[in-house]
Amino acid sequence: MPAVDPLSLADAERGLSDLIERLEAVVVGQRTLLERLVISLLIGGHVLIEGVPGLAKTRAVRALARALDLPFRRIQFTPDLLPADLTGTQIYRPATGTFDVRPGPIVTSVLLADEINRAPAKVQSALLEAMQEGQVTVGDETVVLPETFWVLATQNPIEHEGTYPLPEAQLDRFLMKLTVGYPDRAAELAMLDLPSVTERPRPESGTDDPLPLFGPRDVLRFRALATSVRVAPAIKEYVVDLVRATREPARYGLDLEPLLELGASPRATIALVRASKGHALLSGRDYVTPHDVKSLTRDVLRHRIIASYEADAEGLSPDDLLGRILDHLPVP
Could you read off the pLDDT of 73-98 as tens digits, one per residue? Answer: 999 888 888 888 888 887 877 877 77
Question: Which residues are CB-contacts of 330 (< 8 A; sequence separation ≥ 6)?
Answer: none
209 vs 150, higher pLDDT: 150
Q: Are residues 78 and 194 in the same domain?
A: yes
What value does the mean pLDDT of the chain take? 86
Q: Are residues 17 and 49 in the same domain?
A: yes
In a domain, 18, yes or no: yes
Cβ proximity of 262 and 301 under 8 Å: no
CATH number of the domain within which 82 lies = 3.40.50.300
Q: Are residues 29 and 176 in the same domain?
A: yes
Q: Which amino acid is at 62?
A: R
Q: Are residues 127 and 264 in the same domain?
A: no
Q: Are residues 218 and 251 in the same domain?
A: no
Q: What residue numbers bound the domain in which 280 lies? A: 229-328
Q: Are residues 33 and 175 in the same domain?
A: yes
Q: Are residues 165 and 196 in the same domain?
A: yes
pLDDT digits (tens, 9 = 90+) for 269-316: 999 999 999 999 999 999 999 999 999 999 999 999 999 999 999 999
Q: Are residues 78 and 120 in the same domain?
A: yes
* CB neighbour burial string for 188-201, b if at least 16 within 10 angstroms, e if fewer: eeeeeeeeeeeeee
Mean pLDDT of 133-148: 83
Cβ proximity of 117 and 79 under 8 Å: no
Task: Report the DSSP beta bridge partners of residue 110.
Answer: 72, 150
| pLDDT exceeds 50 at position 206 | no
State the pLDDT at residue 47.
93
Q: Name the DSSP class of 173.
A: T
Helix axes 9-24, 216-227, angle to 10 degrees: 120
Q: Are residues 85 and 120 in the same domain?
A: yes
pTM for this model (two decimals): 0.87
CATH number of the domain within which 316 lies = 1.10.8.80
258 vs 30, higher pLDDT: 258
Q: Are residues 164 and 18 in the same domain?
A: yes
Domain boundary among 154, 187, 222: 222
| pLDDT exceeds 70 at position 199 | no
Q: Are residues 180 and 129 in the same domain?
A: yes
Residue 60 host element (H or E): helix 57-67
| pLDDT exceeds 90 at position 177 | yes
Domain count, the chain: 2
- Residue 241's pLDDT band, with cuts at 50, 70 and 90, is very high
Q: Are residues 167 and 136 in the same domain?
A: yes
